Structure 1
Amino acid sequence: MAASQTTPWNLISGILGVICLFLMATIGILLKDLYPKQSIQPTLSPDAITELQKGPNCCSCPERWIGYHCNCYFFSGELKTWKESRDFCVSQNSSLLQIENGDKLHFMSSIKYFYWIGLSYHKECDAWLWEDGSSVSQDLLPLVQKLSPEKCVIYNARQSVFDISCDNKYHFICKQKFI
């Protein structure tokens, strides 16, 4: 008979259990909204993005791309291999970043990651070339000749380049040129 009898403590523990489940569900929903799935988003600071968008508006860039000097730049939030990064850029009618002038990219001084760029070694030419086939300026990237031809190149804001296995995953920068 004692098993079927409801005491105030049983009722209170049942109510507290329901409240606990409700609170856990609420926290789960809030955390889901707070930490959405990783998507491709710019990794620049808000100040740098504002600076870029204040420049001359001579081109219209796709969503999540940043306009600067009549070009559009995409700073990935995702990590990909060099080939995956190149393929993504091609799918967006762009190419991995080709660095032509160090002064042009002063806005990169606020970034903290290393990024894949569009520089690779071509055995038939025995040289490091950009994706469009042009050669690398020794003034801009003087250490490029010391890199391993079997690897790919990452770049950071301090104009540092390193050779890394092409299968490693890094952020990347795509660039669309506008004429």
Structure 2
Amino acid sequence: MADFQTTPWRLICGILAVMCLVLMAALGILLKNSFPKQSIRPTSSPVGTTEPQEDAGCCYCQEKWIGYQCNCYFISNEIKTWTESREFCASQNSRLLQVQNKDELNFTNSLMYLYWIGLFYSEEHGAWLWEDGSALSQDLFSFSQTMDTGKCVTYFRSRKLLSESCVKKNRYICKKQLI
């Protein structure tokens, strides 16, 4: 008689254990999906892609673009001159990277190459300017005094800038502001 009474309890315990495992798995999946990934997946070209991609909480970026802080970024694998890079970004309704604040560069820590950004030396103004004509804020970067004038700027992880001839070929970063 004792064996007969414990059988329903074993069945109930087994069902509860399975339910507990299913709930734990569901919780794990929900937690994984609730925190956006900020990994960089360099790609060759976003041309021809129109599928929306949600990489950050407030923005939808097309495929092969990275969403971060309500902006979309394209990290190229192709090498181009500064002008060619600028033209490519413009063809994608974006610009070469223009940094607004120090936190914006947190997603670039794993970059392995030099990348053109939208910064160049304007001889007319005697200053470093962004592509849109605005001046570089000196507190964004540890800007070296030895930067050559008459050149364009490449970016490397850890907020390092290098001036290079604008006709040299490098990878590039495009930025599309969504808000």
Q: TM-score range by the shorter chain?
A: 0.5 to 0.7
What TM-score, normalized to structure 2? 0.67
What TM-score, normalized to structure 1? 0.67
Q: Decide which of 37, 41, 44 is 1:40's aligned counterpart.
A: 44
Distance 2:87 2:125 in 1: 23
1:100 aligned residue: 100
Task: Report Cα offsets for 1:87-122 as digits up to 9, x if no partner.
Answer: 000111100001121222211111111100000111
Tell me if 1:154 matches 2:137.
Answer: no
SS in 1 for 2:154: strand
Distance 2:86 2:149 in 1: 18
Task: Report Cα offsets for 1:2-50 as digits up to 9, x if no partner.
Answer: xxxxxxxxxxxxxxxxxxxxxxxxxxxxxxxxxxxxx7159xxxxxxxx
Distance 2:177 2:73 in 1: 9
1:66 aligned residue: 66
2:133 aligned residue: 133
* Number of residue pairs the alignment of both structures matches: 130
Distance 2:157 2:119 in 1: 16
Aligned-pair distance for 1:144? 5.1
The residue identity in structure 1 corresponding to 2:174 is C
Aligned-pair distance for 1:137? 1.3
2:172 aligned residue: 172
Q: 1:145 to 1:99 in 2, by over 3 A?
A: farther
Contact 2:153 2:164 in 1 (8 A): yes
Aligned-pair distance for 1:148? 1.4
Which range is displaced more, 167-176 or 148-157? 148-157
Task: Report Cα offsets for 1:38-68 as digits up to 9, x if no partner.
Answer: x7159xxxxxxxxx92x31x22212211111
Aligned-pair distance for 1:141? 2.1
Equivalent residues in 2 for 1:70-81 (5 A)?
70-81=70-81
Q: Percent identity of the aligned residues?
A: 52
The residue identity in structure 2 corresponding to 1:116 is W
The residue identity in structure 1 corresponding to 2:112 is K
SS in 2 for 1:161: strand
1:84 aligned residue: 84
2:109 aligned residue: 109
| Unaligned 5+ runs, structure 1 | 1-38, 43-51
CA RMSD of aligned residues (A): 1.8
| Unaligned 5+ runs, structure 2 | 1-42, 47-53
